[in-house]
Structure 1
Amino acid sequence: MPDIVELVACPSRPDRRGRLQEMPFRHDAWTPHEIATLETMFRADMALDEIVAAIGRGHAGVRDKIATLGLRRHSQRPWSADEDAWISREYGTRPTADLAGDLGRSCCAVYARAGLLDLTEGNPPKWSDWEDAQLRAGYERAIPIAQIATLIGRTLSGTATRANTLGLRHPNKPADWSEAEARRALTLASEGHRYLAVIEMLVAEGFPRRTKAGFAPRLRKLGYGRGWGRPWTPEEDALLTRVYREGTSRTPLIERLGRTSSSINWRVEHLALRGTHANRDGFRGGPVWTDADIATLREHYGKVPMDELAARMGRTKASLFTRANLLGLVHGYHRAWTDDERRALILAHANGIALPDLAAALGRKYPAVHKYAGKLGYAFERRPRAGRMPTLTDILALRTADGD
């Protein structure tokens, strides 16, 4: 399906219904001939500058009319200086799908161009009505979630999370998989981990163990799909060439352009790119952390609101939390662990107490306890829950195998 740029029509402006009223005369109103000319030239993949010259209107007016008419395309035309200036101003402040609609291009094309212009995204903008409409239509038609994410210009994990928020359930999701397990499996698979590694990661996080023979087919049924066979654009080729020249991560190309590792490897051979790819940043999709970024994070973490700090640094809040955790930074509102709590964690691990029961006894959230236990080297495998919830006093009264 290389030519699909939307699954269902969704007007970018509300459809006002009611009694028709006489429209006042406007000297700059679009005539039927101008609209027909615009649609004909747009579907012929004519450049925006050529359309502007033929109609005799400004770039902003033509772009607005394209968005109003809901026109979209997989354009192979080169980007103009006006489009570059516009996307440099708007990128990161609005959903990629909205920008693609205004420009009359696909989300992949907008992302590729933004990558070449060294534009970075901050916190993800709110989901638009068009994105939600494509997501619902994609789930109704059982289209792989990876393809839906590529279509609307969102990450796979973000798309799956939004679907869960809207109460959507993919028709091909296995009946015995929970929504949390499905989202986590899709995220790990999209990051490039092998299936066996994904299985072990899920088990370590408390999900049921799946067999290797059954995991891959179920993941594909869940919606972990391949690309659509789209032709490579000049912008994508330029991005790939720069990635290999600078040795940066390939993850943005895999995740945001909807390309598989096999597709990228094939294109590398086609472009005759040689040398070993350092991939120094692993699976990181965002910009590289510099010494100045780390110094800024150390100085302001826990003192400046995370929304403000993320906007100032041009990063997501998730990336700030992850980097702060790696640096050992502690946020101001985090409650420090007491000696009794640390001893209770050790005793709970030695006596077979489930991690959710321990979290309840400590009055802490499960993710926080799970992360702290991992730092201390205690892995809580899947354990049965207790019939009666133990208290902190009950756990401290237990003994370890050494009698301590």
Structure 2
Amino acid sequence: MRDKIATLGLRRNSQRTWSEAEDAWLTREYGSQPASALAQDLGRGCTAIYARAGVLGLTEGNAPRWTDWEDAQLRAGFERAIAVAQIAALIGRPLSGTITRASTLGLRHPNNPPGWTEAEAARALTLAAEGHRYLDIIERMVAEGFPRRTKAGFGPHLRKLGYGRGWGRLWTPDEDALLSRVYTDGTSRTPLIERLGRSTSSINWRVDHLGLRGTHANRNGFRGGPIWTEADITTLRDHYGKMPMTDLAAKMGRTKASLFTRANLLGLVHGYHRPWSDDDRRALALAHAHDIALPDLATALGRKYAAVHKFAEKQGVRFGRRARRKSAPTLQDILGLSPRP
């Protein structure tokens, strides 16, 4: 039995502590060889390699080339209908990379639902591995051109594809240390899901068991734009709803979308409407009398079509369908027209 387990590259969940020599060797070799090769040399599981590398703060560059041993394990796993996520964790590869490699090798999982193409199955598994909910996955795939699947059938079909993560493995001290560090530093839990083969529910259960609470060191999240300071928030509160959003965005050096999002989080109400001047009202009446199209009038007034249309409706002025002019009139052109009796 032990020989067979070793031949298949499987490892029992070992609580054996890491020695200084093993740490030094892993520090030297990590990133230069596949995790499966490192695991074989050290007699440990691939998840243990990733966990220890995370504890030691090791990083890797481009993924190493797939070895013959990894390809053999992948083929054997597909032949025996083992869950793809379990195969990925056993050989030490991300789920998305394992799916891509299987596609390259022309492998088809025995439980692939009828009517599903390889591209659809691979995309569904990839989105599931990223932690998206089933309804979100369905809508994303429809937007990408895949057939719409029902919620009731999507989950069972996804499991038939071999989707599954944890299978009762005990949590190791290194994994606990990594999880604690994530909550201490306020970093992402995604690497734990991808590298350790843990499901979101498994991680949530362990978080509750360890009594972890996030310190929210990155209170603004993993944003790509500038962080909101107290001065920025004060400026937004003082000017939001009191000046055009385009001007406010230019003043603060941000996009209008970011201003709207932050204002919504702060519970601010915009309420800004550029007042209609006497000239604007006269231009509205003249444009209606001289068969000027509403889009041309909106351009001349420097307002949005929807805003002009709404105001005209409130005044009881209906433009209907009108042909647009080859050369759009300016506000001065409209004001220069004579009123019709």
Question: Quick check: TM above 0.5?
Answer: yes
Aligned to 1:95: 34
Q: Is the 8 A contact 2:73 2:91 kept in 1?
A: yes
Deviation at 1:256, TM superposition (A): 1.2
Aligned to 1:235: 174
Give 1:109's match in structure 2, choosing from 21, 31, 48. Answer: 48
Matches of 1:263 and 1:163 in 2, distance apart? 26
Residue identity in the other structure for 1:178: T
Aligned to 2:294: none
Deviation at 1:128, TM superposition (A): 1.1
Distance verdict in 2 for CA 1:141–1:180, change over 3 Å:
same
Q: Residues 253-332 of structure 1: matches in 2 within 5 Å?
A: 253-275=192-214
Matches of 1:281 and 1:261 in 2, distance apart? 22
Deviation at 1:206, TM superposition (A): 1.1
Q: Residues 161-310 of structure 1: matches in 2 within 5 Å?
A: 161-275=100-214
Distance verdict in 2 for CA 1:249–1:167, change over 3 Å:
same
Deviations along 1:153-198, one digit per CA (max 9) or x if unpaired, are: 1011110111111111100001211111111111111111111110
Residue identity in the other structure for 1:179: E
Distance verdict in 2 for CA 1:5–1:215, change over 3 Å:
farther
Q: Residues 19-58 of structure 1: matches in 2 within 5 Å?
A: none
Aligned to 1:353: none
Give 2:68's match in structure 1, choosing from 129, 140, 149. Answer: 129
Q: Is the 8 A contact 2:184 2:214 kept in 1?
A: no
Deviations along 1:290-314, one digit per CA (max 9) or x if unpaired, are: 99xxxxxxxxxxxxxxxxxxxxxxx
**Structure number with bigger Rg:** 2
Aligned to 1:150: 89
Matches of 1:281 and 1:5 in 2, distance apart? 52
Aligned to 1:379: none
Deviation at 1:129, TM superposition (A): 1.5
Deviation at 1:9, TM superposition (A): 2.2
Distance verdict in 2 for CA 1:4–1:145, change over 3 Å:
farther
Unaligned runs of 5+ in 1: 11-69, 292-401
Task: Count residues with an aligned counterpart.
Answer: 228
Q: Is the 8 A contact 1:72 1:104 kept in 2?
A: yes
* Superposition CA RMSD, Å: 3.0
Residue identity in the other structure for 2:144: E
Matches of 1:169 and 1:238 in 2, distance apart? 37
Secondary structure in structure 2 of the residue aligned to 1:142: coil
Secondary structure in structure 2 of the residue aligned to 1:9: helix
Q: Is the 8 A contact 2:52 2:174 kept in 1?
A: yes
Task: Return the TM-score normalized by structure 2.
Answer: 0.61
Aligned to 1:20: none
Give 1:77's match in structure 2, choosing from 6, 12, 16. Answer: 16
Aligned to 1:15: none
Matches of 1:85 and 1:253 in 2, distance apart? 23
Deviations along 1:346-383, one digit per CA (max 9) or x if unpaired, are: xxxxxxxxxxxxxxxxxxxxxxxxxxxxxxxxxxxxxx
Deviation at 1:226, TM superposition (A): 3.1
Q: Is the 8 A contact 2:10 2:45 kept in 1?
A: no
Distance verdict in 2 for CA 1:191–1:276, change over 3 Å:
farther
Aligned to 1:325: none
Q: Residues 317-356 of structure 1: matches in 2 within 5 Å?
A: none
Q: Residues 354-373 of structure 1: matches in 2 within 5 Å?
A: none
Matches of 2:220 and 2:39 in 1, distance apart? 29
Residue identity in the other structure for 1:229: G
Aligned to 1:9: 7
Q: Is the 8 A contact 2:39 2:45 kept in 1?
A: yes
Residue identity in the other structure for 1:243: V
- Percent identity of paired positions between Structure 1 and Structure 2: 72
